[in-house]
Amino acid sequence: MSRLDDKLASIRNGTYTRADFIIADAKDGDMGPSLTSTGPARDSDGNYSRHRTRDEFLGEIRLIIEQDVVDIMLASVSNIERLRETGAFRGSGVTPAIRANDATDIWVCRGASYARQPSRGYRTADLDLARTATGASLGLYSITFNNDLDADIASLHEFATFRRDARRHGWRYFLEVFNPNVDCRIDPALVPHYINDVILRSLAGLTRAERPEFLKIAYNGPKALEELASCDSSLIVGVLGGGAGTARDCFELLHQAEKYGARVALFGRKINLAESPRDMVAAMRHVADGSLAPEEAVRVYHDALGKLGRRPLRPLEDDLLLTETVLQAG
């Protein structure tokens, strides 16, 4: 079995330790923000005037794979295909995963307004062709509920079609459920519990063979996460990273997520926009293992930047701050 499967087995059979916490690097932004998702091409002082090219971006991904700390590398079909062709995953413990759908709420291209309308399901990836081209068998499927009957039913029909297609072509999947992307006419205090309810309601009618390997959701605070993570021992919950934030935001989110029951962290911008993505990942692993507290991890990360001769984007005292409201409440 792969390292990922070993960890999933430990979580499911009740022998979980913090060493089994799963970390995924989400490098699938080309299916959403597109060109800008590669991140800035910074010099050692942190300055930049352009975004990375695709080849530069793939080079960054290869470095993360070679580091062999993350458990999953999530990317678009085209990029996983290119990485496979160059042997990036050969002999690696990192599991490749594709973004299997690209619903409209991630279409945040410059000048576009798609993401300000209720999410609609859409799939660019052909699961048959992708299976052969990428060698992967794990995909991310994303759905967004907006308390909009017509939109949500349409999204669930798309999800059902995907599940049938995935079974036919030998894919496993994990399920990403975003918070509503438009005004859902629900009291904001109830939205986290609405999300928990619609997730469980959507999965209740599925056989074990149809269910996701794990979830990827926004961290909506301790109470909501603990409620979802504790209600069904067969359901593995993971959290998404959201915006880049400070280094403390990254490590604190990981710490709080594990504390309140999450067993997977799937971070994109928090890794990709870091001054040194590999050092960020290394520190994340230590936080997940419990060998570093979030504040200590920030200091270790800044020490690593100093050794590389890279100027941090923020002074240490600023990078130690929590800027995300949900983390301050935790």
Torsion-angle region of 181 (φ positive above 0: left; ψ -120 to 50: alpha; else: beta)? alpha
Phi, psi of 143 (to 5 degrees): -140, 145
Fold of 3-329: TIM Barrel (3.20.20)
Phi, psi of 206 (to 5 degrees): -100, 145
d(CA 87, CA 305) in angstroms, rounded, equals: 29
Give domain limits for the chain: 3-329
d(CA 189, CA 267) in angstroms, rounded, equals: 25
Q: How far is CA 63 from CA 23, 74, 277, in A?
A: 16, 14, 9
Give me the DSSP letters along 251-263.
HHHHHHHHHTT--
Residues above pLDDT 90, as percent of the chain: 97
pLDDT tens for residues 221-274? 999 999 999 999 999 999 999 999 999 999 999 999 999 999 999 999 999 999
pLDDT tens for residues 193-218? 999 999 999 999 999 999 999 999 99
Residue positions counted in the chain: 330
Q: How far is CA 43 from CA 15, 56, 191, 304, 309, in A?
A: 44, 13, 41, 16, 11
pLDDT tens for residues 37-80? 999 999 888 898 899 999 999 999 999 999 999 999 999 999 99
Give the number of C-alpha atoms closer than 13 A to the C-alpha of residue 202, restricted to the C-beta side. 27
Is-contact 262 221, C-beta < 8 A?
A: no
Q: Mean pLDDT over all residues of the chain?
A: 97
d(CA 118, CA 183) in angstroms, rounded, equals: 9
d(CA 144, CA 321) in angstroms, rounded, equals: 31
pLDDT tens for residues 132-158? 999 999 999 999 999 999 999 999 999
Q: What is the dihedral of CA 35, 39, 43, 45, to 10 degrees?
A: 140
Number of C-beta neighbours around residue 185 at 10 A? 9
d(CA 217, CA 280) in angstroms, rounded, equals: 21
Residue 329 is predicted with a pLDDT of: 84
